[in-house]
Amino acid sequence: MDKIVYRIPELDFGFIDEITKGNEKANILFTAVDYGIFDLLTQPKTADQVSEAIKTDPYLTEKFLNTLVALNLLHKIENRYLNTKLAETFLVKKSPFYQGTLFGMKRRGSTDWQRISKALKNGGIQTGTGNKSIIDRTFIIGHAEIAITGALQRAVDVISTLPEFGNAKKILDLGGGHGLYSIAFQQLKPDLEVVLFDLPHVTEIAKEYLEQYGMQGKIKIVAGDFTKDDIGNGYDIVFVSDVTISGILKKIYDALNENGALIYRRWTINDNRTSPLTSVLFDFMLAMRRSEHRVYTLGEYIRLLDAAGFSITRILDISYPQDPTKILIAKKERC
Tell me the domain boundaries of the chain.
Answer: 14-97, 131-332
In which element (H, E) is residue 162 found?
A: none
Question: Helices 200-212 and 137-146: crossing angle, nearest 10°?
Answer: 40
The answer to whether 245 and 305 are in contact (CB under 8 A) is no
CATH superfamily, region 131-332 = Vaccinia Virus protein VP39 (3.40.50.150)
**Residue 332: helix, strand or coil by DSSP?**
strand
Q: Do domains 14-97 and 131-332 have the same CATH topology?
A: no
Signed CA dihedral, 177, 231, 254, 182: sign only: negative
Whole-prediction pTM value? 0.88
Write the DSSP assignment of 90-148 as a string of letters: HSSTTSTT--HHHHHHHHHHHHHHTTHHHHHHHTS----SSHHHHS-HHHHHHHHHHII
Kind and range of the H or E element at 221?
A: strand 220-223
Q: Is the peptide bond before 276 cis (omega within 30 degrees of 0)?
A: yes
Going edge to edge, which strands form the sheet with 80-83? Answer: 45-46, 80-83, 74-77
- Output the tens digit of pLDDT for each of the chain's 335 residues: 567 777 777 888 888 988 888 889 999 999 999 999 999 999 999 999 999 999 999 999 999 999 999 999 999 999 999 999 999 999 999 999 999 988 888 887 778 888 999 999 999 987 654 444 578 899 899 999 999 999 999 999 999 999 999 999 999 999 999 999 999 999 999 999 999 999 999 999 999 999 999 999 999 999 999 999 999 999 999 999 999 998 999 999 999 999 999 999 999 999 999 999 999 999 999 999 898 889 999 999 999 999 999 999 999 999 887 789 999 999 997 55
Helix ranges, the chain (H): 14-20, 22-34, 37-40, 47-54, 58-70, 85-90, 100-113, 116-122, 131-134, 137-146, 152-159, 163-167, 180-188, 200-212, 249-255, 277-288, 298-307
The CA distance from 159 to 189, in Å, is 12
Phi (first) and psi of residue 81, to 5 degrees: -115, 145
Would you identify the CATH topology of the domain 14-97?
Arc Repressor Mutant, subunit A (1.10.10)
| 142 in Cβ contact with 205 (< 8 Å) | no
Q: Quick check: 195 and 171 in contact, CB under 8 A? A: yes
Q: 15: helix, coil or strand?
A: helix
In residues, how long is the chain?
Answer: 335
